[in-house]
C-alpha cells in the first residue's frame, strides 16, 4: 500500500505508521541534549501519537457531542473533524504541504481550530500569533518564520487586517496565499467560502506527521528584544495537556471557558486540553468581567484558565452576586502573580478551587498548587513541579543554589520546547549543557517544596499576563523628533502586576508629554497593552555623556518610581499616595501606588553620582 493510500485510512491503531518522511526543515534536531534526554519520557507518557489521533477518536465515539462554542457557532465533534479535513483539503489545493509554515492570526473563533488542526493533516507547521499584533510584529514574524500562508479576519475590534496585509504583501515575497475570514479583496482567498461554501472540497490526501516533528511555532520576546520563534512537536505539546488534565481531574463532562487568546500559548493549550478530554470549550473573543460571568452561567462552565486581572474584573462587577456560578469547579490563575488579597476575595465570593500555575511558551505547565493545599499556606507561591516535570534553582554557572537561596528557575521534562527557530545563540545560552532550560525567572524554594517567584533576570514587562519587551516600544519612540533617549520600565501595579512607565530625555529645546507619546504610538498601530500609562522626564542637559546606555542602567532606576523621601503625591481621593522605590530587579509583589498624579521627586543615580534626575510622573487609567 502506498503511503498516501495508507494515510487516508489511518485509525488510532496505526500510530507506528512509518510513512512520515518530513522535509529536513521540519525535523527535530536530535543533537540538542534536551531532545535526547526528553524523548524517552515523552514516549512513555502518551506513546507515538499526534493530535489528530485524539480528535479522530472523539469524533468516532461521540460525533454528536458539542466540542466548540463561540458567538456564532455550536460545533459537534463530528462537525469539527469534518471541517478540519475540509480546511486541510483547501490548504492543500493552494499548494501548501509538508514543512510549510502557516501563520494564523484569528480571534477566539471556531475557525482558528479548523485552520490550526488542518495544518497537521497536510504536514504543515502552524504558527500562532495574537490578534492584537500589528504590522511591525506581523512583518517580522511572517518573514522570519518563512511563512507560505497567512490567515486573518477581515476586521476585528475595529482593525482592518486586510489593509495591513495589503501594505505588507510586497515585502513578504515567500507568501503563497492570504486567507481572510469575513471579507477580503481580489488578492486574498475567502476562508469562509472554503469552509462553508457550497462548492465541494477538492480531493484530499492526508499526511501522517511524525510525533517528534516540529508541528507548531509561536513567537515570544527574548532578552535581546527580538521575537524568538519557539518550536514544539506533538511529543512536547500533548504532554502539557495530558499532565494538567490528570492533575485537575478533567473528564469529558468539563466545560472550559477560553477567553485567553487562542493565538497565544495558554489559550491554545486549553483548547487542546478540552479536545483531548472529549469535553466542551466555550470561546470568548472579547473579554469583560460581565461577559465572562454571563458565559459561566449560560454554558455552566466548570474550568477557567485566567490571568489575575481577569479574575479581578469579575470580582469587581457590581452585580456579581446575581450570577449563578455554582457550576465552577476549577479556576487556574497564571501569567502574573495573583495578589493574596485577590485570592482571599475569590474564595469568599466565587465557588470552586483557585489554583496558581506557573509556565511559559517554552516549558508548558511547569508548576502549580494542588487541590489539597491549604490556600493560606500556598498563597503567593506557584506551587510544586507538575508530574513528570523537573525543576532546579541554579546560579549563573548552572550549579544548584543552596536550600532557601534565590536562583534561576530551570526546567526539564516532556513539555519543554525543542528550541528556538534559526537562533543557535539563544539555544546555546538558554539550554544548559545537560539539557535544562533556563527560564530567566528567579525563585526560592520553601521547605514545603513550593516555589515562590522573587523576580526576573529578563527585562520583559508583564502587564496583566500580556508580556512584551521594552525595546519593541523604545525603537518606535526613538523615531519621534523630540526624543533623545527613551526607556520603557515595568513598575509594580496591584491589579495588573506591572504597568508601563515611559522614561524620556527630550532633545534640547523640545518637550514631550504622555498624551503625545501615546498618540505617536497609536498612529503606528502598536498594541495598546505595550503603551505606557506613566511617564518620567529628565533634563537633557544632564545626559550629554550617557548616550543610549542610560535606559538600561541607572536612569531606569531613577525613572521607575518616586523617592519616598521627596514625594508628595495627591491621589484622586485627595489622600497622600504611598510612593516606593522600585529596585532595578523588578518583582510583581513589590508595593506601589497606582494613582500618583503630578508627583515630583529628585534622586541621584548610582552610575552618575553627580547627576540628579528630575522625575515627573503622570498616570493615566489602566
pLDDT band at 468 (very low <50, low <70, confident <90, very high): low
SS3 470: helix
b/e map of 245-259 (b: 16 or more CB within 10 Å)?
bebbebeeebbbbbb
CATH topology classification for 26-35+240-255+268-396+414-457: Rossmann fold (3.40.50)
Strand 437-445 vs strand 461-463: parallel, antiparallel, or unpaired? unpaired
Per-residue pLDDT tens over the stretch 533-564: 544 444 443 333 223 333 333 334 444 443 32
Nearest to 295 by CA among 310, 273, 276, 277: 310
Per-residue pLDDT tens over the stretch 351-393: 999 999 999 999 999 999 999 999 888 988 999 999 999 999 9
Task: Judge contact between 92 and 120, C-beta under 8 A.
Answer: no
Task: Judge contact between 437 and 34, C-beta under 8 A.
Answer: yes
pLDDT band at 593 (very low <50, low <70, confident <90, very high): very low
Task: Name which CATH class applies to 461-618.
Answer: alpha beta
CA–CA separation, 105 and 93 (whole Å): 21
CA–CA separation, 124 and 91 (whole Å): 10
CA–CA separation, 305 and 357 (whole Å): 9
User: Can you give the pTM of this predicted structure?
Assistant: 0.74
Strand 419-420 vs strand 437-445: parallel, antiparallel, or unpaired? unpaired
CA–CA separation, 350 and 293 (whole Å): 11
Q: What is the pLDDT of residue 491?
A: 77
Helix axis angle, 33-46 relative to 234-247, nearest 10°?
50
| Of the listed ranges 75-89, 108-122, 161-175, 504-518, the one predicted with least confidence | 504-518
SS3 554: helix
| Of the listed ranges 31-45, 251-265, 382-396, 487-501, the one predicted with least confidence | 31-45
Q: Is the pLDDT of residue 110 over 80?
A: yes
Q: What is the pLDDT of residue 28?
A: 37
Q: H or E segment at 498?
A: strand 497-506
Q: Is the pLDDT of residue 119 over 50?
A: yes
- Residue entry with cell 542610560: 550
Q: Is 369 buried (19+), middle (13-18) or exposed (0-12) by CB count in 10 A?
A: buried
**94-103, 463-472, 579-588: which has the highest mean pLDDT?**
94-103
Q: Is the pLDDT of residue 205 over 60?
A: yes
Q: How far is CA 295 from CA 44, 70, 259, 278, 349, in A?
A: 38, 10, 10, 20, 17
Q: What is the mean pLDDT of the chain?
A: 79
The dotted CATH code for 51-207 is 3.40.50.980
Q: H or E segment at 53?
A: helix 51-61
C-alpha cell recorded at residue 124: 504543515
* Numbered ranges of CATH 3.30.300.30 in the chain: 461-618
Q: What is the pLDDT of residue 58?
A: 98
* 39: number of Cβ within 10 Å: 18
Per-residue pLDDT tens over the stretch 403-443: 999 999 999 999 999 999 999 999 999 999 999 999 999 89
What lies within 8 Å, CB to CB, of 505 at 6+ separation is: 483, 484, 485, 486, 537, 538, 539, 540, 543, 546, 550, 555
Distance in Å from the first CA to the final CA of the chain: 61
* Numbered ranges of CATH 3.40.50.980 in the chain: 51-207
What lies within 8 Å, CB to CB, of 577 at 6+ separation is: 569, 570, 571, 593, 595, 596, 599
CA–CA separation, 45 and 166 (whole Å): 45
* Numbered ranges of CATH 3.40.50.12780 in the chain: 26-35+240-255+268-396+414-457
CA–CA separation, 218 and 126 (whole Å): 8
* 463 half-sphere exposure, CB direction, 13 A CA radius: 19
Query: Between 103 and 600, where is the model more confident?
Result: 103
Q: What is the pLDDT of residue 522?
A: 81
Q: What is the pLDDT of residue 342?
A: 84
Rg (CA), the chain: 25
Q: How far is CA 40 from CA 7, 47, 150, 235, 483, in A?
A: 26, 10, 35, 10, 54
Q: What is the pLDDT of residue 504?
A: 82
Q: What is the pLDDT of residue 622?
A: 35
The sign one gets for the Cα dihedral 119, 122, 123, 124 is negative
Q: Is 584 buried (19+), middle (13-18) or exposed (0-12) by CB count in 10 A?
A: middle
Mean pLDDT of 562-584: 27
Nearest to 254 by CA among 266, 263, 264, 241: 241
SS3 256: strand
Query: Between 349 and 535, where is the model more confident?
Result: 349
pLDDT band at 467 (very low <50, low <70, confident <90, very high): low
Q: What is the pLDDT of residue 572?
A: 25
CA–CA separation, 620 and 532 (whole Å): 9
Amino acid at each position: 500500500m502506498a503511503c498516501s493510500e495508507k494515510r487516508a485510512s489511518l485509525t488510532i491503531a496505526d500510530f507506528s505508521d512509518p510513512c512520515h518522511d518530513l522535509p529536513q526543515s521540519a525535523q527535530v534536531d536530535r543533537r540538542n541534549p534536551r531532545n535526547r534526554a526528553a524523548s524517552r519520557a515523552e514516549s512513555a507518557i502518551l506513546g507515538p501519537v499526534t493530535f489528530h489521533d485524539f480528535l479522530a477518536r472523539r469524533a468516532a465515539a461521540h460525533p454528536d457531542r458539542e466540542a466548540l462554542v463561540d458567538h456564532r457557532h455550536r460545533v459537534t465533534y463530528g462537525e469539527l473533524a469534518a471541517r478540519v479535513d475540509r480546511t486541510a483539503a483547501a490548504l492543500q489545493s493552494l499548494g501548501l504541504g509538508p514543512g510549510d509554515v502557516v501563520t494564523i492570526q484569528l480571534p477566539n473563533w471556531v475557525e482558528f481550530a479548523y485552520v490550526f488542526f488542518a495544518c497537521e493533516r497536510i504536514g504543515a507547521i502552524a504558527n500562532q500569533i495574537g490578534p492584537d499584533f500589528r504590522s511591525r510584529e506581523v512583518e517580522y514574524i511572517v518573514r522570519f518564520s518563512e511563512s507560505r500562508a497567512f490567515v486573518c479576519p477581515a476586521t476585528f475590534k475595529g482593525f482592518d487586517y486586510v489593509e495591513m496585509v495589503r501594505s505588507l504583501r510586497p515585502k513578504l515575497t515567500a507568501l503563497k496565499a492570504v486567507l481572510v475570514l469575513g471579507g477580503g479583496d481580489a488578492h486574498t482567498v475567502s476562508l469562509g467560502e472554503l469552509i462553508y461554501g457550497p462548492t465541494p472540497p477538492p480531493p484530499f490526501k492526508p499526511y501522517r506527521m511524525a510525533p517528534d516533528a516540529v508541528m507548531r511555532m509561536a513567537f515570544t520576546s527574548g532578552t535581546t528584544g527580538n521575537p524568538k520563534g519557539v518550536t514544539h512537536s506533538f511529543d512536547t505539546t500533548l504532554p502539557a495537556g495530558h499532565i494538567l488534565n490528570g492533575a485537575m481531574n478533567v473528564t469529558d463532562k468539563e466545560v472550559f471557558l477560553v477567553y485567553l487568546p487562542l493565538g497565544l500559548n495558554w489559550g491554545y493549550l486549553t483548547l487542546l486540553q478540552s479536545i483531548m478530554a472529549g469535553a466542551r470549550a466555550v470561546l470568548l473573543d472579547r473579554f469583560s468581567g460581565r461577559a465572562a460571568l454571563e458565559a459561566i452561567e449560560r454554558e455552566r462552565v466548570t474550568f477557567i484558565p485566567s490571568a489575575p486581572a481577569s479574575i479581578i474584573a469579575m470580582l469587581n462587577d457590581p452585580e456579581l452576586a446575581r450570577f449563578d456560578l455554582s457550576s465552577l469547579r476549577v479556576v487556574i490563575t497564571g501569567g502574573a502573580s495573583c495578589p493574596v488579597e485577590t485570592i482571599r476575595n475569590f474564595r469568599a465570593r466565587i465557588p470552586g478551587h483557585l489554583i496558581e500555575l506557573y509556565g511559559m511558551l517554552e516549558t508548558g505547565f511547569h508548576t502549580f498548587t494542588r487541590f489539597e493545599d491549604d490556600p493560606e499556606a500556598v498563597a503567593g507561591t506557584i506551587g510544586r513541579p507538575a508530574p513528570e516535570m523537573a525543576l532546579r534553582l541554579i546560579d549563573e554557572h548552572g550549579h544548584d543554589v543552596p536550600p532557601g537561596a534565590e536562583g534561576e528557575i530551570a526546567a526539564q521534562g516532556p513539555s519543554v520546547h525543542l528550541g528556538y527557530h534559526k537562533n543557535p545563540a539563544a539555544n546555546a545560552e538558554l539550554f544548559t549543557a545537560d539539557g535544562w532550560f533556563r527560564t530567566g525567572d528567579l525563585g526560592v524554594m520553601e521547605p514545603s517544596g513550593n516555589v515562590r517567584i522573587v523576580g526576573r533576570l529578563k527585562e520583559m514587562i508583564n502587564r496583566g499576563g500580556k508580556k512584551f519587551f521594552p525595546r519593541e516600544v523604545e525603537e518606535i519612540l526613538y523615531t519621534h523628533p523630540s526624543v533623545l533617549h527613551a526607556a520603557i520600565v515595568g513598575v509594580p501595579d496591584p491589579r495588573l502586576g506591572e504597568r508601563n512607565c515611559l522614561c524620556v530625555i527630550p532633545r534640547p529645546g523640545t518637550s514631550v508629554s504622555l498624551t503625545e507619546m501615546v498618540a505617536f504610538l497609536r498612529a503606528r498601530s502598536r498594541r495598546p497593552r505595550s503603551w505606557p500609562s506613566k511617564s518620567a522626564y529628565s533634563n537633557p542637559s544632564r545626559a550629554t555623556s550617557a548616550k543610549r546606555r542610560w535606559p538600561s542602567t541607572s536612569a531606569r532606576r531613577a525613572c521607575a518610581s518616586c523617592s519616598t523621601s521627596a514625594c508628595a503625591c495627591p491621589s484622586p481621593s485627595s489622600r497622600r499616595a504611598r510612593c516606593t522605590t522600585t529596585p532595578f530587579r523588578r518583582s510583581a509583589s513589590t508595593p506601589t501606588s497606582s494613582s500618583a498624579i503630578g508627583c515630583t521627586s529628585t534622586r541621584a543615580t548610582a552610575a552618575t553620582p553627580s547627576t540628579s534626575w528630575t522625575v515627573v510622573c503622570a498616570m493615566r487609567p489602566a
